[in-house]
Amino acid sequence: MCGIVGYVGSEDAAEFLIDGLRRLEYRGYDSAGVAIVCEDDIAVTRSVGRIQSLADRLGTPPPGTLGLGHTRWATHGPATEENAHPHIGGDGEVVLVHNGVIENYQILKDGLIEKGYHFKSATDSEVIAHLVAEGLSNTPAIEDQPHARYVTAVQWAIAQLRGTYGLAIVFRDKPGFMIAARFGSPLVIGVGRGEYFVASDASPIAGRTDRIVYLADHQLAVLTADGFSVLHRDSGKVRVNIQPLEADSGEVSMNGYDHYMLKEIYEQPDALRNAMRGRLNDQDATAVFGGLNLTPQQLRGVERIILTGCGTSWHSALVGEYMIEELARIPVCVEYASELRYRNPPIENNTLVFGITQSGETADTLAALNETKRKGHRTLAICNVVGSSIAQASDGGVYLHAGPEIGVASTKAFTSQCCVLAMLALYFGRMRHMSFETGGRIIEDLRRLPATIEQALTCDAEVRRVAEKYQSATNVLYLGRRYNFPTALEGALKLKEISYIHAEGYPAAEMKHGPIALVDADTPSIFIMPRGTTYDKVLSNMEEVKARGGPVIAIASSDDTEIRKIADDVIMIPEAPEFLQPIVSVIPLQLLSYHIAVLRGCDVDKPRNLAKSVTVE
């Protein structure tokens, strides 16, 4: 969703701003803009559409060593130039960019209009710009404290906001000076030599500096080319924790692939190796996690687990439910984070709550974890982005180490999440009834997984052929049972997200209770049916679809030669134990949606209306 960049230093700001905005494109946006502070003016340029249109409009950028940039994903008001950021406050004395949502903007706006402020956009963000201008007009300068008036005005303004914000603010009358502030919407500061970078995540900063500060909620950073300090919104300076920034900029290049999504699909064997590195312990036949921050006694006492997340992460939670209940025999319940945050279900003592999230920024997941934490439950995160809001807000957790995921449709995060959940199932299982032998066998299964995925990826050419055949479908059914039911949901989601074809995932047996009415010659059904407990049952479901004239595609085990006699098309996948099958069987489904989207001319990495990090409710 919306992205922020800012620069203060001695170089021309525009180069970093445009490059940084390009690196934030993956979050999803529909308009963009930059502000560059020149001598005694601030040049603001905005444009609807891609960053390239903004760069074209900017032409030769104005010189200036201080500036802001923004990508906007419309919430209040349509995607127009007027609604794009940066927004201007007062008569141009304040310019800012904002991520997040201000819930009480209308009442603030009414008050500002009464005071004579003119609004040019329909956004909630412009309210903040005028509010800071109003703060400035009420705040006298203080001798010997050149920044104080500006800091006070911002503190006064943000104290009135209800909602979430990540803000970067510059002032016409204070060149070389910027304030950044955060509540509920992430903001990081890249600490360079004689230059500082502000961004909504680390990706624009990677390669520019290797030192980063993750601002916490209610913090405010004051930046000039000579240094920076961090304050609490209501009190004085706070100690800054400068952390190393590991990702280098090379990691976010496409490495010769046509799209990030395809690159990330092919990165899955390595992502799985990284998720498992150092976490499998042969001696005790268990998994090892360094960041759970709970004693073995506390973990042994866990009587129930709640897994929560959104989108693809919710699907991996479903896989985790099957794994943990089967291998560790602990009851698990899976909740949509958006429901959990308001549903107020009874949660027993000794319940552990895991938030599963690639970005670590999903607003609903963060709120659900905060709500359960407030009630006194332990909250842990299974998260990819180091230092993200959810990683910071939870009591502990497990990082995926999958590397940056740029394609909006999640791929390697899903398989890495499933892998971490399998290791957690092993860990909890070994704390309880699971034998040393079973633990050892699971470790072997997990170790084989990256090579199995490498083999699964060789189906690519066959999947492309199937994609050509079905690219014009308008409805597709995805059906699977047990561990492959969540895979069916994930396959359907992938197709919807990037090729805009309506698709539904169902437990195969449920098909008879509704979806079978959709079956006709133009509605393909994809059966995810590697060999396993329910193979014969799924085969019968497939016959039922065939009998009604529906084309069927089978995702089947490589030794299943019989299936070719029934299915119209078959994509073979390598053998894997049932609990790991979702990680294998999702590969052809990811590739299928990728190829269909490419064949239909869709924007694979930046599908319409979607955002990578959903930072609003």
Residues recognised as catalytic: 2, 612
Report how many residues bind ligand G6P under the rule CB under 6 A. 16
Tell which positions 594-613 bind ligand G6P, by CB under 6 A.
Answer: 610, 612
* Residue 158 near residue 183, CB atoms below 8 Å: yes
410 contributes a contact to ligand G6P by CB under 6 A: yes
> Based on CB atoms, which residue is closest to ligand G6P, 357 or 415?
357
Q: Which is nearer to ligand G6P, 135 or 607 (CB)?
A: 607
Choices 150-158, 274-282, 355-363, 543-551 (CB under 6 A): range interacting with ligand G6P: 355-363
CB of 311 to ligand G6P, least distance (A): 3
Based on CB atoms, which residue is closest to ligand G6P, 272 or 563?
Answer: 272
Q: How far is the CB of 36 from ligand G6P (least distance, A)?
A: 31
* 312 is a site residue for ligand G6P (CB under 6 A): yes
Tell the smallest beta-carbon distance from residue 407 to ligand G6P (Å). 9
* Cα torsion 520, 521, 525, 531: sign: positive
124: Cα within 13 Å, side-chain hemisphere: 21
Q: HEC profile for 274-335?
A: HHHCCCEECCCCEECCCCCCCCHHHHHCCCEEEEEECHHHHHHHHHHHHHHHHHHCCCEEEE
Subset of 277-296 contacting ligand G6P (CB under 6 A): none
From candidates 108, 161, 408, 539, binder to ligand G6P by CB under 6 A: 408
The C-alpha torsion from 20 through 21 and 24 to 25, rounded to 10°, is -140
Question: 416: part of which helix (H) or strand (E)?
Answer: helix 412-431
SS3 at position 499: helix
Work out whether 311 is an interface residue with ligand G6P (CB under 6 A).
yes
280-281 and 286-287: which strand pairing?
antiparallel
310 binds ligand G6P (CB under 6 A): yes
Name the CA dihedral angle for 393, 398, 400, 405, rounded to a multiple of 10 degrees: -10
338 scored as a contact of ligand G6P (CB under 6 A): no
Half-sphere exposure of 426 (CA within 13 A, CB side): 30
Which stretch in 34-42, 65-73, 406-414, 540-548 sits in contact with ligand G6P by CB under 6 A? Answer: 406-414
Using the Cα atoms of residue 406, residue 410, residue 416 and residue 417 in order, give the sign of their dihedral: positive
Q: What is the nearest approach in angstroms of ligand G6P to the Cβ of residue 410?
A: 4
In terms of Cβ atoms closer than 10 Å to its own Cβ (0-12, 13-18, 19+), residue 360 is: buried
366 lies in the binding site for ligand G6P (CB under 6 A): no
* Burial zone of 59 (CB within 10 Å; 0-12 exposed, 13-18 middle, 19+ buried): exposed
Q: Binder to ligand G6P among 71, 365, 394, 415 (CB under 6 A)?
A: 365
Residue 231 as a binder of ligand G6P (CB under 6 A): the answer is no
Nearer to ligand G6P, 61 or 360 (CB): 360
Dist. CA 337–CA 355, nearest whole Å: 8
Nearest to 612 by CA among 30, 28, 23: 28
505 binds ligand G6P (CB under 6 A): no
Residue 319 in the binding site for ligand G6P (CB under 6 A): no
Q: How near is the Cβ of 312 to ligand G6P at its closest, in Å? A: 3
Sole binder of ligand G6P in the list 71, 121, 219, 313 (CB under 6 A): 313
Nearer to ligand G6P, 126 or 201 (CB): 201
Which residue, 382 or 584, has its beta carbon nearer to ligand G6P?
382
- Residue 169, exposed/middle/buried by CB under 10 A (0-12, 13-18, 19+)? buried
What is residue 258's DSSP assignment? S
Nearer to ligand G6P among residue 84 and residue 614 (C-beta): 614
Nearest to 340 by CA among 312, 307, 311, 318: 307
**List of residues contacting ligand G6P (CB under 6 A):** 309-313, 357-359, 362, 365, 408-410, 610, 612, 614
